[in-house]
Amino acid sequence: METLHVISVSFLIFFSLRKLIQWRDAIRSIQDYPGLRYLFGAETAVMGSRIPYISVGIFSGWKTKHQDFAQFGSDIVSSVSVLPRPRIMFFLADAQAIKDVTNARHRFPKPVDHMGVLSYYGNNVLVTERDEWKRHRKITAPAFTERNIRLVWDVTTKVTEELCEVVWKGRDEIAVDSVTDVTVPITLFVIGTAGFGQQISWIDDNILPAGHAMKFKDAMHVTSENIILKAIFPEWVLAHAPISRVRQFYIASNELQRYMEEMIQSRRSGEKQSLGGDDLFTCLLEANDDGSIEGEAHLSDSEMMGNIFAFLIAGYETTAHSLAYALILLALHQDEQEALYQHIRSVLPDGRVSSYDDMNQLTYSLAVFLETLRMFPPVNMIPKKAEEDTVLTTRTSSGELRTVPCPAGSAIMIHASGIHYNPRYWPDPYTFKPARFLDKDWPRDALLAFSTGPRGCIGRRFGETEAVAALTYLVSRFRIDVKDEPRYRGESMAERRERLLKGKIALTLCPARAPLVFKRR
Q: Where are the domains of the chain?
A: 2-118+383-418
The amino acid that residue 241 corresponds to is A
Cβ within 8 Å of residue 76, ≥6 positions away:
69, 90, 91, 92, 93, 94, 97, 392, 394, 402, 404
Count of C-beta atoms within a 10 Å radius of residue 374: 26
- Decide: 276 and 190 in contact? Cβ < 8 Å: no
- Decide: 41 and 89 in contact? Cβ < 8 Å: yes
pLDDT of residue 164: 96
Q: Is a pLDDT exceeding 70 seen at residue 22?
A: yes
pLDDT of residue 49: 73
Annotated binding residue 283:
no
pLDDT of residue 205: 64
At 176, is the secondary structure helix, strand, or coil?
strand
113, 140, 489 from 303: Cα distances, Å: 17, 11, 53
Q: Is 453 left (phi over 0), alpha (psi -120 to 50) or beta?
A: left
pLDDT of residue 294: 59
E-assigned strand segments in 386-507: 390-395, 401-406, 411-415, 478-482, 503-505
Which 8-state DSSP code applies to residue 122?
S
pLDDT of residue 393: 94
pLDDT of residue 434: 98
β partners of residue 479? 519
Q: Is a pLDDT exceeding 60 seen at residue 479?
A: yes
pLDDT of residue 296: 58
The residue with greater pLDDT, 351 or 517, is 517
- Decide: 203 and 162 in contact? Cβ < 8 Å: yes
Q: Label residue 235 by pLDDT band (50, 70, 90).
A: confident
d(CA 190, CA 9): 61
pTM: 0.92
Which H or E element spans position 117?
none
For the chain, the straight-line distance linking the first and the last C-alpha, in angstroms and rounded, comes to 80
What mean pLDDT value characterizes the chain?
Answer: 88
Q: Is a pLDDT exceeding 60 seen at residue 291?
A: no
Return the minimum-mean-pLDDT range out of 14-18, 125-129, 291-295, 337-341: 291-295
pLDDT per residue as tens digits for the range 302-340: 888 888 888 887 778 889 999 999 999 999 999 999 999
Return the minimum-mean-pLDDT range out of 136-145, 286-295, 497-506: 286-295
Task: Identify the sign of the CA torsion 270, 273, 277, 282.
Answer: negative
pLDDT per residue as tens digits for the range 407-442: 999 999 999 999 999 999 999 999 999 999 999 999
pLDDT of residue 271: 61
Task: Identify the sign of the CA torsion 141, 451, 464, 503.
Answer: positive
CA 59 to chain centre: 14
The residue with greater pLDDT, 277 or 381, is 381
Average pLDDT, integer, range 456-473:
94
